[in-house]
Structure 1
Amino acid sequence: MSSSVKPKVVLVHGGWHRESMYNVLKKYLHGIEVHTVQNPSSAPVPPAQLGGLYDDARNIRQKVESLDGPVVVVAHSYGGAPTTEGLVGLEDKVKRILYLNAFVPDLGASLLGVLGGPDWFYGLDHVDEGYFEMLHAERVFYNDFDPLAAEMAAADLGPQSVKSYDEKITQVAWHTIPSSYVIGEQDAAVPREASEFMASRTKKTYRLPGGHSPFLKQPDRVAMIIHEELKLAMDS
């Protein structure tokens, strides 16, 4: 049954990021009520106070539950994991999940398990102290940016807790909530074969030229995809 009520949009950021990463994209989402969340796993607090995946999942769920009416959730990168964990049981409210170059984990998975441990290609530091520092964001997250823009974007990143990548998924929202996936065809953070596999877990796949962070590089195209997801949500 179609609905005349346009869903609200909740934007979930990725690892090492802050919710302010979506400030550019929000300017392109005309006529949409947009909300962001700050994941505790990369909050602007001392590293010892960073939360884990379950804290992020509760935070996302609380935000969604606080909103009236239907919701479409857009999750980038790591944000796909706590979104997957946190939205189970909200099928009547969350009409769609859009995974944006994101992880789409299944039951029992952790991101460290998926990625093969802490010493993967991202180039990280401070693992023994309980947090990750992204050392090569310019080439991993922003490989399609010009050098100055990549440097400026990387300067906005903060530490990410190890436990957020180590805690395992205990429930899976994409099993019951219609979901879509955006593949960045030059993504240097999520290997192409991994993104293709994770996209196969969803109902619809979009493809964008460019890298891991299209919300900054091509926000107009990401906004168009979100508008399409809203239409699908209203038509369902």
Structure 2
Amino acid sequence: MTAGGTSRPTLLLVHGAWHGSWCWERLTPVLRADGWNTRAVDLPSAGSQAGVRDDARVVLDELARTDGPVVVVAHSYGGVPVTQAVAEAAEAAEVVHVVYLAAYQLDIGESLLGHHGAPVPSEPDGFQAVPDRPVPLFYADAPAADAEAATGRLVPQSTRSFSDTLTAAGWHTVPSTYVVCEQDQALPPHHQEELAARAGSVHRIASGHSPFLSMPGEFAALLAKIASESAG
């Protein structure tokens, strides 16, 4: 399969906090119908006390199992372990691009809580409960049935994952694109714009926090455009 005359990269999809690989279920059939290979991981910090390093290791392991070029797509919190993992992958994997979807494109020494000016929690081994009213927060523009179904699959998130700091940042050496979700109620667009200043290019989509659920066709087309351009 080719894109721009070269091998199409595999799309590695990395979910955000409280979620799992299930959140891509509306998106992946659209991408595969267009000829894209996709893979997805389940981050252990969703449902256990794992931290950023544990999540990054899962991403690294999946990269090691994937042949050929890879575009990593990180959603929300997923941007944190992806940033660490891509830096650590170095020669071990052919990561050609990172897409930050309403994601935390943090730098060395930063954490998710630190980005928001929040203190380190006194009980780092606890959990962050699923937010109240997750439908308007995460899925405001998604079909009601899909939003309710997704809400039922959310799990508590490791507190440690929000306070762990990065020791490396892959976007310094690997090209990146930021996708701003303009109607996002979980990570407001002005926060996204600040983070997007670190990316090599920026796209915007008129969606809430989860375009893979609310507009999978439009988001798949945007990913295909970004991935094709990254391939040459």
Settle same-fold status: TM greater than 0.5: yes
- Decide whether aligned partners of structure 1 residues 28 and 146 sit closer, same or farther in structure 2, where only a CA change above 3 A counts: closer
Which residue in 1 is equivalent to 2:38? 34
Q: 1:10 aligned to 6, 9, 12, which one?
A: 12
- Decide whether aligned partners of structure 1 residues 89 and 169 sit closer, same or farther in structure 2, where only a CA change above 3 A counts: closer
CA contact (8 A) 2:142 2:213 kept: no
Q: Which 10-residue stretch deviates more, 127-136 or 204-213?
A: 127-136
CA contact (8 A) 1:8 1:70 kept: yes
CA contact (8 A) 1:91 1:177 kept: no
In structure 1, distance between residues paired with 2:189 and 2:183: 8
- Decide whether aligned partners of structure 1 residues 128 and 87 sit closer, same or farther in structure 2, where only a CA change above 3 A counts: closer
- Decide whether aligned partners of structure 1 residues 147 and 9 sit closer, same or farther in structure 2, where only a CA change above 3 A counts: closer
Q: What amino acid is aligned across from residue 203 of structure 2 in structure 1? A: Y
In structure 2, distance between residues paired with 1:211 and 1:138: 10
Q: How does 1:133-212 map to 2 (within 5 A)?
A: 133-134=129-130, 135-145=132-142, 147-212=144-209
Query: What TM-score results when the alignment is normalised by the length of structure 2?
Result: 0.89
In structure 2, distance between residues paired with 1:117 and 1:7: 37
In structure 1, distance between residues paired with 2:219 and 2:225: 10
CA contact (8 A) 2:125 2:158 kept: no
Query: How many Å apart are 1:222 and its aligned residue?
Result: 1.2
Q: What is the root-mean-square deviation in Å for CA atoms of aligned residues? A: 1.9
The answer to whether residue 127 in structure 2 is matched with residue 131 in structure 1 is yes
Query: How many Å apart are 1:23 and its aligned residue?
Result: 1.0
Q: Which 10-residue stretch deviates more, 83-92 or 220-229?
A: 83-92
Question: How many aligned residue pairs are there?
Answer: 222
Structure 2 unmatched ranges of 5 or more = none
Percent of matched pairs sharing the same residue: 37
CA contact (8 A) 2:49 2:126 kept: no
CA contact (8 A) 2:7 2:231 kept: yes
Structure 1 unmatched ranges of 5 or more = 44-48, 120-126
Q: What amino acid is aligned across from residue 103 of structure 2 in structure 1? A: A
- Decide whether aligned partners of structure 1 residues 107 and 3 sit closer, same or farther in structure 2, where only a CA change above 3 A counts: farther
Query: What TM-score results when the alignment is normalised by the length of structure 1?
Result: 0.88
Q: Which 10-residue stretch deviates more, 26-35 or 147-156?
A: 147-156
Q: How does 1:101-120 map to 2 (within 5 A)?
A: 101-117=102-118
- Decide whether aligned partners of structure 1 residues 66 and 185 sit closer, same or farther in structure 2, where only a CA change above 3 A counts: same
